[in-house]
Chains A and B, each alone.
Chain A
C-alpha cells in the first residue's frame, strides 16, 4: 500500500516535496472555509459542510481500515450511535457538546465488543462480520421504539444557538464541521507519525512478525478501533444536529458505511491526507449532480460512486496519493542491491567463556494430531553462548523454536527465561518472550512489505525506544551494522532474498535482545554473505547476547557454535562440542542412513 512514502519523506530525502505537500494541504483546508464564505450561497455551504463531515468520517475510518488494514464496512454503527446519543440527550435537555462525548463513550464500548471477536477474521470475512453487526444494530434501533423512535425516526427540539449546535445561518455549522475535520486529521496524523502507527501497519503487513517484535497486536488494534469509533461518533452527533432528524435506515446504513470507506480508497487508503482528498474530489461532483438534476437523478450519485470505485481499484489501486507520490518520489529509485559491507571486523572463533544460565528448556512435548513432533526436548542456554541446532529436514527444529518464542504452546514441559532482574520466569505469549528479551527470526522471511527497510527495523527498535526519533536513530545504526545502510529508504518488498534475510536479523537486533533465536538465516545466501553473517553473529555474541541458531550451513555451524544440539524425529540425539557431534554415529545415521555410519 501507499502509506510508507509519507513516512519516508519525513526521514529525509524529499523534504521539499514534503513541505510542498503540507502547503497544498493547508491551501486545501483554507479553501474549505474560504470558498463558501466568499460565494455565500446556502447550497455551497451545504456542500462544504458535507465535504468536511465525510472527510472527517473517512479519516477516522482510515485509522482502522487503512492503518490497521481491518476493512470495516460497518462504521455507520459508531456514527449512528453518536447521532442517537446526541439527539436523545438533546431531547432530555442536555447539550450535544456533552452528548457527543457520551456517544463517543458508548461507541468505544460497542467498537470493542464488535471488533474483539472479529480480529481473527481476515479481509472479506472481517468486512462481512462488520456488515452483520451493522444489520443487527439497525434492526435493534428499529425495534426499541421507546428509545429511538423506531422507523418513524427522531426529531430534535429546535433550540437555536451554539450550545445546541443548531443555527439559522450556515457559517457556524461549517465552522464546527471544519473543526471536527481538523481534530480527525490531527489524530490520524499523530497516530501515523508515532509508535502506534508503525505498530498498526506492521500488524497489518505481518501479524506474526509484529508479534515477534513485541507488538501487542490485539491491543494496538483495539486502540485503533476505539479511537476511530470515538471520532466517528462525535461527527455523528454533530451531523444529527445538522440534519435535525434521524432514522435507523439512514443512521445505520450500509451504503453510508461503504461511502465512508470509498473516500479513503479513492484518496489513498492508509495515508493521512487521502480520505480528505477523496471527499474533496467526489462530494462536490455528486452533490452538484443531485442539486442540478433533482429527484430525476435519484441514484445518479451512487452510480457515479460505484463506477469511480471500480475504476480506481483497477487503475489507481493506491488512490490519488499514489499518483502524487509517483511524481514526488520518482527520483528516489533504489538500484539493484549490491553487497554492502558489514561493519563487523573479521575474526575467528575463539573458545568462549560462557556465563550464567539464561534459558532453561525442560521436557518439551508436542503432538500435532498423531504426529509426535517434539519428544522430551530439554537443554540450557548460557549467557554469551552460541548454541547451534542442526538436524535433517522435518526433524522438528522450527517447532521447538516456536515453543521457545511463545508461538506454540508445548503440550508438556516448560521454558523458563532469566529476567534482567535475575528471576526465572515462564513467559507464555510472544509478547511475554519479547518483553523478557527473547527475539526471533523466521525461516521464511516475514518483512513488512509495504514499509521501508528503515521502518521495518524501527518496528523492532520501538521495543526499547518508544519515541520515533530514538527508534529511527537506533534503526539506522542497526541497518549500517547489518550492511543495509544504502537501502534505508527502499521498500522492503524490493530487497533480494539475501537482503531480506539480513533485514530479518536487523529487525530482531534492533530489539536489543538478550537471547536471539535465528532460524536458518544463512540458507540460500552466498558464500561471502555466509562469512559476513558468521562474523556478525560472533560480534553479537561478544556483547553478551546468547544465540540459538538453527542452521543447515555446516561451515557456519562448525565455526560459530560453542555447543551443538542435533534433533532428529523430535528428539535430541546428540549434543556437545561441534567437532565431536559431527563424528557421532547417531548423527551420521540420521543424516545419511545406516550404511554410512562406518564410512
Chain B
C-alpha cells in the first residue's frame, strides 16, 4: 500500500510538471488554432536560460523566472508575428505545421551547436531535498511545480473570464471576423496569446530546470507528452490540460511500475491514439471541438 501511495504521489507530481508545459500549448492552440510543434524547444530554451542565469549570477533558479518568462514571451510573440501570421491565411495547413516543425528543428540544433550534446545541470538550491507528506516522500521542487501549475491555471482562467483583454481573446478565438467587426485588433490578440503561451512555458522552465538535467533534445520528450495531455483534456481547454496532465502523470507512474519502465511511453501514446481516434473531444471536453474531424 505504501508503494502504491508513493507511486500515485509521484504520478501526481509528474502530472503537475506536464501541466505547466501543457497549459501554454493548449492556450496557443485554443486561440490561435495553431499547433506549436516548437513548444518543447521553447521549454528547452527557457531551461538553458535558467541554467545560464542561475549559474552566471549565482541566484536561485526560481528567481530567474522574472527574466526567463518575459524573454519567452518575446520569443513567442516574435514567432507569431514573423512566422505564423504571414501563414494564417494559407490555403492548407501543411505550411503552418512545417513552419513550427522547422522552428523546432532549428532551435534544437542551435542548442546542439552552442551547448553540445552534454547535459547541463542547473544548481538545485535545495529544491531537490525531500519532504515527507504522511507516508510518501516528495521533492520540494515537485511541490513548488505542482502549486505553480494550479496557480497558473487559476490565474489564466481569471484573466480570460474577468479582464477586458481576456474577453477579447476569447471573442477572437470564437469568431475572428466578428471580433474584428467589434473593433478587436485580432493580429495583436494572436501575438499576445502566443507570447502568453510561451511565457507560461518560460515560467515552467525555471521551475523544471533544477529538477531535470537540461539537454538540446529535452523538449521533444516533454512536447509529445504535452500534446497527449492537451488532447486528453479537450483541445484548447486550460483546466482540461491540467487534469489531462494529472491523468497522464498517473498513467506514466503506474504503468512504469506495473508494466515496465521501458514501456511507459508506449502505454501513454497508445492512450493518446485511442483518445484521438475514438473521442477526439477529449475526456473532459464539455463542448465538442471536432473541427479536426471530418463529418
**A residues near B, CB below 8 A?**
1, 69, 71, 73, 117-118, 120-125, 127-129, 131-133, 135-136, 139-140, 142-143, 207-208, 254-255, 258, 261-262, 265, 269, 297-303, 305-310, 312-314, 317, 449-450
B113 contacts A122, CB within 8 Å?
no
A298 contacts B105, CB within 8 Å?
no
**Known A142-B262, A262-B102, A314-B99; further 17 A-B contacts with Cβ < 8 A:** A69-B94, A118-B276, A120-B277, A121-B292, A122-B293, A122-B294, A124-B97, A129-B277, A133-B269, A136-B265, A139-B269, A258-B105, A299-B113, A302-B106, A305-B106, A309-B102, A314-B87
Contact bitstring B260-273, A, C-beta under 8 A = 1, else 0: 10110110011011
**What is the number of residues of chain B that contact chain A, defined by CB distance less than 8 Å?**
51
Complex CA distance for A297 and B93, rounded to whole angstroms: 33
Contact bitstring B84-103, A, C-beta under 8 A = 1, else 0: 00110011111111110111
5 A-B pairs within 8 Å (CB atoms) are namely A132-B273, A133-B273, A261-B98, A309-B106, A317-B90
Known: A124-B97, A128-B35, A129-B276. Is A303-B83 also a contact (CB below 8 A)? Answer: no
Residues of A within 8 A of B113 (CB): 297-300, 303
Residues of A within 8 A of B126 (CB): none
Complex CA distance for A440 and B93, rounded to whole angstroms: 28
Complex CA distance for A313 and B113, rounded to whole angstroms: 24
Residues of A within 8 A of B117 (CB): 298
Residues of A within 8 A of B95 (CB): 313, 317
A307 contacts B227, CB within 8 Å?
no
Residues of A within 8 A of B145 (CB): none
Residues of B within 8 A of A143 (CB): 260, 262-263, 266
A254 contacts B98, CB within 8 Å?
no
Q: Give the total number of A-B pairs whose CB atoms are below 8 A apart.
A: 154
Known: A71-B94, A71-B97. Is A128-B265 also a contact (CB below 8 A)? Answer: no
B110 on the interface (CB 8 Å rule)? yes
B107 on the interface (CB 8 Å rule)? yes
Kindly identify which residue among B87, B94, B220, B269 contacts A132, using a CB–CB cutoff of 8 Å.
Answer: B269
Residues of B within 8 A of A300 (CB): 109, 113
Kindly identify which residue among A207, A208, A306 contacts B105, using a CB–CB cutoff of 8 Å.
Answer: A306
- Determine the residue in chain B with the shortest Cβ distance to A117: B277
A123 contacts B292, CB within 8 Å?
yes
Known: A298-B116, A303-B110, A303-B113. Is A313-B273 also a contact (CB below 8 A)? Answer: no
B112 on the interface (CB 8 Å rule)? yes
Known: A136-B266, A298-B113. Is A310-B104 also a contact (CB below 8 A)? Answer: no
Kindly identify which residue among A127, A307, A317 contacts B106, using a CB–CB cutoff of 8 Å.
Answer: A307
- The smallest beta-carbon distance between A323 and chain B, in angstroms, is 16
**B residues near A, CB below 8 A?**
35, 83, 86-87, 90-99, 101-113, 116-117, 216, 220, 224, 227-228, 231, 260, 262-263, 265-266, 269-270, 272-273, 276-277, 280, 292-295
Known: A139-B266, A298-B112. Is A309-B105 also a contact (CB below 8 A)? Answer: yes
- The smallest beta-carbon distance between A37 and chain B, in angstroms, is 33
A307 contacts B102, CB within 8 Å?
yes
Residues of A within 8 A of B104 (CB): 306
Residues of A within 8 A of B280 (CB): 121, 125
B83 contacts A310, CB within 8 Å?
yes
- Top 10 nearest A-B pairs (CB, nearest first) are A306-B106, A299-B112, A309-B102, A302-B109, A306-B105, A123-B93, A303-B109, A299-B109, A310-B102, A124-B35
Known: A122-B294, A143-B260, A306-B107. Is A132-B272 also a contact (CB below 8 A)? Answer: yes
A125 contacts B112, CB within 8 Å?
no
Known: A128-B35, A265-B98. Is A299-B110 also a contact (CB below 8 A)? Answer: yes
Complex CA distance for A150 and B289, rounded to whole angstroms: 40
- Determine the residue in chain B with the shortest Cβ distance to A140: B266
Known: A69-B92, A71-B94, A449-B91. Is A303-B106 also a contact (CB below 8 A)? Answer: yes
- The smallest beta-carbon distance between A367 and chain B, in angstroms, is 17
A313 contacts B224, CB within 8 Å?
no
Residues of B within 8 A of A302 (CB): 105-106, 108-109, 112
Residues of A within 8 A of B110 (CB): 299, 303
Kindly identify which residue among A140, A265, A307 contacts B94, using a CB–CB cutoff of 8 Å.
Answer: A265
Kindly identify which residue among B111, B224, B231, B293 contacts A135, using a CB–CB cutoff of 8 Å.
Answer: B224
- The smallest beta-carbon distance between A214 and chain B, in angstroms, is 18
Known: A123-B97, A297-B113. Is A207-B103 also a contact (CB below 8 A)? Answer: no
- The smallest beta-carbon distance between A485 and chain B, in angstroms, is 27
A305 contacts B105, CB within 8 Å?
yes
Residues of A within 8 A of B262 (CB): 139, 142-143
Known: A310-B99, A313-B102. Is A131-B224 also a contact (CB below 8 A)? Answer: yes
- Determine the residue in chain A with the shortest Cβ distance to B274: A117
Complex CA distance for A313 and B105, rounded to whole angstroms: 14
A123 contacts B106, CB within 8 Å?
no
A314 contacts B86, CB within 8 Å?
yes
Residues of A within 8 A of B224 (CB): 131-132, 135
A73 contacts B116, CB within 8 Å?
no
